[in-house]
Chain A
């Protein structure tokens, strides 16, 4: 049970982090939110995105310790990247959901 929740947290944080990083790029911001993101907002999105990815690593290490946790995290980043790219193409709503917080 705890293992399952931690796994979910690893993926959720990796996905959210990737989504924030994607929105920090003008093309994707325009497609999802419209207009252009300000410079300060881009910085916040990048920093926040990086923090989400780090949080994903924390969950992975808590779940599996270093020897399985690090490979799990790397693969979660890859999976999160693919998921964000596909969501931007077909379901931008799924990007909005995880980036709706104030930033």
Chain B
């Protein structure tokens, strides 16, 4: 048994941090990148580097939908925004799986498929689901990590003893152990508001998954509590197809009515249910660009007459939940906040890696030879520099694989994901073999891959940095600049690690 409350908190902080640190780093890293998911999309999908359209016309896009997915039971058209200039058509294929194709916003013509999941379909879902779909395992692991993170923030404050007195203290010039712990405390305590709000709101987003019986408890007298919850909480309208052909009324008047209903704001997407059927209907969901809340405002129109069938706006409790979610999702247009979130997320990454290093430093002398210590050493390298390396390999693969690439039955998009996971796995193996020397090697590899990604973007798309900077095309220029900045940090770290190693070797020789 542990002696005191503070000791028990220290024990909790040490071991929960160790067990879930790798997972938390992956979530923080992918979350930090996710605030720029659309910009990563532009970088990885050169065909979508378009000017946002000046006016919106839906008819050409609908004509494309009829060609691409004539038999689909619904089409969802994501409308262009300042960050995503293309139109994206989602539709279920014959097997019921959701497919998408990007359309040129003006002409509605399908853009050449880019064969990538990019930021919004790989990096962003990785952040909250780890791409482990079976039994929603990924969601639950992330939820567990989120709860653990909240408890780590609390126990960290207790263990710290003097969080206020040491608030601004960073003794970078002292020995590594001191500087590392200062950095852990600094990123933890100064960044606490961000870490706490993000972790809590992240859990609130998936309340339906983490608290699956909530609907049953709230609507225990209803025949179908889950359905009733969706109806009242999230809004839903549906009607079966008539089985007879019908024509779709023009969508422009419906758009006008939606804008009028939503104080001038347009929809984020338009969904046509049962296209081509006499009972078809059109759903519009209000855009989130100008509000924090991920709203549930919906309008449904009759496909034949264009009359409003149903209007929904969430009730106060759901609006609150949606506000908290929106704070996390940052889908609204606010560039200063977007950059601040990015910085906050990276400070969380620093907090986690310094925590790992503290654990290792405290035990290096006594346990260096033991298997468990070596296991953690490799785990740390693989989960920190390894995932960064894997992400960069994902970018590089995106620029190297030809558009029609296929291998062993896998589509191009899946190949990129394979590259990611294989490089990540390789980084773990490298970490276990090379131990603490692996940091240096992986830092050099990160620098080289980051520079290679910038160079490959210039060669394969012609949008080199000078051009994008001159044109002020920030999605690609910003991504390239961040890659170069990352490379610079990696080189600096690798050189510091080399010096550190030289000192250590001298100590061994002359010690």
Contacts and interface: CB of A to CB of B under 8 A. Distances in A.
Is the A/B pair a real complex? yes
Interface residues of A, number: 25
Nearest to A26: B165
- Contact count band on B: 20 to 34
Interface stretch (A34-42, A50-58, A83-91): A83-91
Contacts of B347: 78, 82
Given A25-B165, A67-B291, A85-B186, A78 B170 contact: no
Contact of B170 (A64, A67, A77, A86): A86
Interface in A60-88: 64, 67-68, 71-72, 74-79, 81-82, 84-86, 88
Given A25-B165, A28-B168, A85 B337 contact: no
Interface SS majority for chain A: helix
B168 A78 contact: no
B95 interface: no
Contact of B168 (A68, A76, A77, A81): A81
Nearest to B190: A81
Given A67-B291, A76-B340, A25 B168 contact: yes
A78 B340 contact: yes
A93 interface: no
A76 to B, nearest CB: 7
Given A28-B168, A85-B170, A68 B334 contact: yes
A64 B335 CA distance: 12
Contacts, number: 67
Nearest to A72: B337
A75 B170 CA distance: 20
Contacts of B168: 18, 22, 25, 28, 81, 84-85, 88
Interface in A8-27: 18, 22, 25, 27
B81 interface: no
A7 interface: yes
Nearest to A60: B336
Contacts of A79: 340, 343
Contact of A75 (B291, B292, B344): B344
A68 B341 CA distance: 13
Contact of B337 (A27, A71, A81, A90): A71
B171 interface: yes
A89 B173 CA distance: 8
Contacts of B186: 82, 85
Nearest to B173: A89
A32 to B, nearest CB: 11
A82 B170 CA distance: 10
A89 B171 contact: yes
B194 interface: yes
A78 B336 contact: no
A79 to B, nearest CB: 6
A90 B336 contact: no
B190 A7 contact: no
18 contacts: A22-B167, A25-B167, A27-B165, A67-B291, A72-B336, A72-B340, A75-B344, A76-B340, A78-B191, A78-B193, A78-B340, A78-B344, A78-B347, A81-B168, A82-B186, A85-B167, A88-B170, A89-B171
Interface of B: 165, 167-173, 186, 190-191, 193-194, 197, 291-292, 327, 332, 334, 336-337, 340-341, 343-344, 347
Interface of A: 7, 18, 22, 25, 27-28, 64, 67-68, 71-72, 74-79, 81-82, 84-86, 88-90
